[in-house]
A = this chain, B = another copy of it.
Amino acid sequence: MTLAAEPLFSVEVVVLRLYQQQLYVYLTPQASSSSTESIYSLINGPIDYECDKNIENTVKRLIEAELNAEASYIEQVKTIGNATRHPDGWMVASVYYALLPQLATRSMTNWFPVKQLDKLSLAYDHLALIHSSLRRLKDKAQYTSMPLHLMPAEFTLSELQRCFENIMQSYIQKKAFRRRLLEAGLLIALDRERRGKSRPAQLYRIKRGHIIHHFSRKMFGKAEE
């Protein structure tokens, strides 16, 4: 992606998804300037004043164009503007994160595990923007049911717990986790089970219109899973 004609304002999108129980972020390699190592960039771009009705439309358009997918949740993290984050001078960027529901079949090219971002070279302040987004998601996981947006259509409570643990970077008590989510009334038990190498697990789906729940207390879990 080259620099847009209007350098003042850009939208930056941190797109997240689960893959094999890990959180991945979508990054595109920049046209590498002869060096051996690519520089990776967030999905981003300027507002299209012709077709975008608002900034969230811009976000959706960028995701659609790059990933041909639709996010199940989009949230504005912050808007950052200063003279130092970009070599071209004063730049303003609105940062969003987007959660994609887990779909079985989908290419993993350009997806990178968030636990290994240190090994990549990221453009400008994009690493910081990712960390801001992950921090926001982590905070929300402590007192809302937001991580549900990352789950596939059917899932077990253990899978959901691992999703939360992944985001929160901590170990959660199984009993407390199940009590909390089941009593919130967000889930519907299906009449099917996930069979694996041990006891089969009850499958659930999300009750329509009940994805987001705000709990009255935080859930902590113990440090570093």
Chain A contacts to B: CB under 8 angstroms = 8-9, 47, 49, 53-55, 76, 78-83, 89-90, 92, 94, 216-218, 220
- Name the distance in Å between A57's Cβ and chain B's nearest Cβ: 8
A49 close to B79 (CB less than 8 A): no
Residue of B nearest to A11 (CB): B81
A216 partner residues in chain B, CB cutoff 8 A: 217-218, 220
Q: 10 closest A-B pairs (Cβ-Cβ)?
A: A54-B82, A79-B79, A55-B81, A217-B217, A49-B90, A79-B94, A216-B218, A76-B78, A54-B81, A53-B82
A83 close to B49 (CB less than 8 A): yes
Could you give 6 example pairs across A and B, Cβ below 8 Å?
A: A47-B90, A47-B92, A54-B81, A55-B80, A76-B79, A92-B94
Number of chain copies forming the complex: 2
Interchain CA distance A35-B94 in the complex, whole Å: 38
B217 close to A92 (CB less than 8 A): no
Interchain CA distance A217-B79 in the complex, whole Å: 28
Most B Cβ at <10 Å: residue of A49, A53, A76, A81: A81
Of B9, B55, B92, B217, which contacts A218 at CB under 8 A? Answer: B217
Known: A49-B90, A76-B79, A81-B94. 12 other contacts (CB 8 A): A8-B9, A53-B83, A54-B80, A54-B83, A55-B80, A55-B81, A55-B92, A76-B78, A92-B94, A216-B217, A216-B218, A217-B218
